[in-house]
Amino acid sequence: MLGLLTRRRREVELSEEIQSHLDLLANEHVRRGMPLREARAAARRDFGGVEQTKEAFRDQGARTTTLVLGGVVLFVLLLARANVANLILARGVGRTREIAVRAAIGGTPARIARQLLTEGTLLGGLGGATGLAVSWGLLHVAPSFIPPQTIPESIVLGIDWRLGSRARRPRIRRTGRAPTIR
C-alpha cells in the first residue's frame, strides 16, 4: 500500500514539474509576442508532450527495476549452479565403492563411463523439464496473485524458448561427466 502511495505522489510531483516547465516555455513564447493559446501549443510541441515525458520517466523506472530483478535472478542461478555441481561431485565420491565393485566383476571403463553419463543425462533432462514445467505453470498462475499495474506494461513476463533450447544442449552433455572423469 505504501508503494502505491509513493508511486502516486511521484506521479503528482512529476506532473507538477512538467506543468511548471510548460508554463515557463509558454511565458517565454508570450514575451516574444506569440498569443497565449499558440504559446501553450508551441510549449507542448517543444517539450515533447506531457504524456511522452511521463512515459519516458516510467520506462526509466521500469528499466532500473528490470535490471535489479535480473541481477537477483542471476545471483540465485549462480548459487543453484554451484549447489548442483557440489551435489554431482558428492554423488560421484559416494559411488566410488560401487564403481570399484563394477570394475572388479569385469565392467570395462567404457561401459562404466557410459552408465554414469546415461544416468547424468537422464537426471539433467528430467530436472530441466521439471524446471520448465514449473516456470510455465507459475507464469500462468502468477498474474492472478500480482495486483494490477504493479509490473509496468513494458515488462513482458514469459519464457524465452530460444534461450532455453540453446542452454539445454551443452548442459545435458556435461551433466554426468564429473563422476565419470574421476
Pairwise pLDDT comparison (156 vs 24), residue with the higher score = 24
The C-alpha cell 572388479 sits at: 104
pTM of structure: 0.48
Number of domains in the chain: 1
In a domain, 147, yes or no: yes
Give the model confidence (pLDDT) of 21-80 as tens digits. 778 878 888 888 888 888 877 777 776 655 565 666 666 666 677 778 888 888 998 998
Q: What does the CA dihedral 133, 78, 67, 160 come to, rounded to 10 degrees?
A: -30
What pLDDT is recorded for position 177? Answer: 52
In a domain, 60, yes or no: no
What pLDDT is recorded for position 20? Answer: 79
Q: Which domain holds residue 144?
A: 78-181
In a domain, 55, yes or no: no
What pLDDT is recorded for position 79? Answer: 93
* Per-residue exposure over 73-101, b if at least 16 CB sit within 10 Å of its own CB, e if not: eeeeeeeeeeeeeeebeebbeeeeeebee
In a domain, 92, yes or no: yes
In a domain, 123, yes or no: yes
Give the model confidence (pLDDT) of 80-124 as tens digits. 889 988 988 888 888 888 899 999 999 899 999 998 889 888 888
DSSP states of 37-77 as a string? HHHHHHHHHHHT-HHHHHHHHHHHHHHHHHHHHHHHHHHHH
Q: Which residues contact 167 (CB under 8 A, 6 or more apart)?
A: none
What pLDDT is recorded for position 142? Answer: 79
What pLDDT is recorded for position 53? Answer: 59
CA-nearest of 177, 178, 181, 175 to 124 is 175
Confidence check: pLDDT of 179 > 60: no
What pLDDT is recorded for position 34? Answer: 83
In a domain, 21, yes or no: no
In a domain, 52, yes or no: no
